[in-house]
Amino acid sequence: MQSKQIIIAIDGFSSCGKSTVAKQVARILGYNYIDTGAMYRAITLFCLRNELIENQKVREDELINRLDDIHIEFRFNAELQRSETILNGENVEEEIRQLPVSENVSQVSTIGEVRKKMVRLQQEMGSKKGIVMDGRDIGTVVFPNAELKIFMTASPRVRAQRRYDELMGKGQEVSLDEIISNIEMRDHIDQTREESPLRRADDALILDNSHLTHEEQLQWVIDRVNKALENENCH
Ligand code: DC
């Protein structure tokens, strides 16, 4: 009997390793992986390029007027074995990870019209199930009926150190203090914004990975996936 396909929603704080685990789980299951943070980052890049952000303030009305000019999709790069973010036909996978985008993305993602458009797109992407989607509001807003919801967390210091190592590894000069304050600022905005604030869905399982290795986390998630699949296949 062919196994039923499910939706796996992974939410949590910035830089706590959601995407690494989500990608691995998707690969193991043969599911699609969708990085919803990349979608908000792509819109932020569009704003920066079109002078819709000044001193970290978004020209909200102008952005809303131009939302129909923004097309976001993912394309699989077979050579690098990864899914890449495409903004209006251009591959922006690298550029959306840089500090100018990170510094402004929280502000852009507080805008209700932006979220409405992204949520609609995400729901379409997951309409056939068989996806692992990570973000902030996947288990609460995008797929409140997801068969498996995981809420990931780790201490700000641990997250900052990981992000620092990652950026230094890519040859980018950054200071740890700068990263800690960026993470704390994003946590604050993500949790206190009016539109779909970051919060754990009541039925989400908590994974605090401050002191877990990659392998331990992956195993933890795979065990829960297997249980969720067993449940689905029994019904
Ligand atoms: O996961 P990330 O750090 O790449 O996300 C970038 C920003 O996008 C983050 O500050 C919060 C926002 N975001 C959101 O509001 N809702 C989502 N589903 C995903 C990300």
Top-confidence residue, 102 or 44: 44
User: Which residue ranges make up each domain of the chain?
Assistant: 7-226
190 C-alpha vs ligand 1 centroid, how far in Å? Answer: 8
Top-confidence residue, 190 or 69: 69
pLDDT at position 143 is: 98
Q: Tell me the average pLDDT across 64-83.
A: 94
CATH 3.40.50.620 fits 7-226, yes or no: no
Give residues (CB < 6 A) around ligand 1.
Answer: 14, 36-37, 40-41, 105-106, 109, 135-137, 186, 190
pLDDT at position 196 is: 86
pLDDT at position 2 is: 61
121 C-alpha vs ligand 1 centroid, how far in Å? Answer: 15
- Which tokens belong to 178? 């700068």
pLDDT at position 148 is: 98
Q: How confident is the model at residue 57 (pLDDT cuts 50, 70, 90)?
A: very high
What is d(CA 184, CA 200) in angstroms, rounded to the nearest whole number? 18
What is d(CA 235, CA 231) in angstroms, rounded to the nearest whole number? 7
pLDDT at position 105 is: 93
Q: Please identify which residue in the block is written with the tokens 């100018």.
A: 100
The protein residue whose alpha carbon is closest to atom 11 in ligand 1 is 106
Q: What is the pLDDT of residues 153-202, one digit of tens each?
A: 998 899 999 889 988 998 888 899 999 998 898 889 889 988 888 999 99
The protein residue whose alpha carbon is closest to atom 13 in ligand 1 is 37
100 C-alpha vs ligand 1 centroid, how far in Å? Answer: 14
What is d(CA 29, CA 20) in angstroms, rounded to the nearest whole number? 15
136 C-alpha vs ligand 1 centroid, how far in Å? Answer: 6
Q: Tell me the average pLDDT across 63-77.
A: 96
- Please give the number of the atom of ligand 1 that sits closest to the Cα of 122: 18
1 C-alpha vs ligand 1 centroid, how far in Å? Answer: 37
The protein residue whose alpha carbon is closest to atom 6 in ligand 1 is 37
pLDDT at position 173 is: 86
What is d(CA 131, CA 26) in angstroms, rounded to the nearest whole number? 7
pLDDT at 1 > cutoff 70 = no
41 C-alpha vs ligand 1 centroid, how far in Å? Answer: 7
Beta carbons of 33 and 132 less than 8 angstroms apart: yes
123 C-alpha vs ligand 1 centroid, how far in Å? Answer: 16
Q: Tell me the average pLDDT across 70-90.
A: 94
Mutate which of 33, 104, 105 for ligand 1? The one with the most ligand atoms within 8 Å of its CB, which is 105
End-to-end CA separation in angstroms for the chain? 13
Q: Tell me the average pLDDT across 29-52.
A: 97
- Cα 182 vs. chain centroid, distance in angstroms? 16
Please state, for a pLDDT cut of 70, what percent of the chain lies above it: 99
pTM value is: 0.91
What is d(CA 11, CA 134) in angstroms, rounded to the nearest whole number? 6
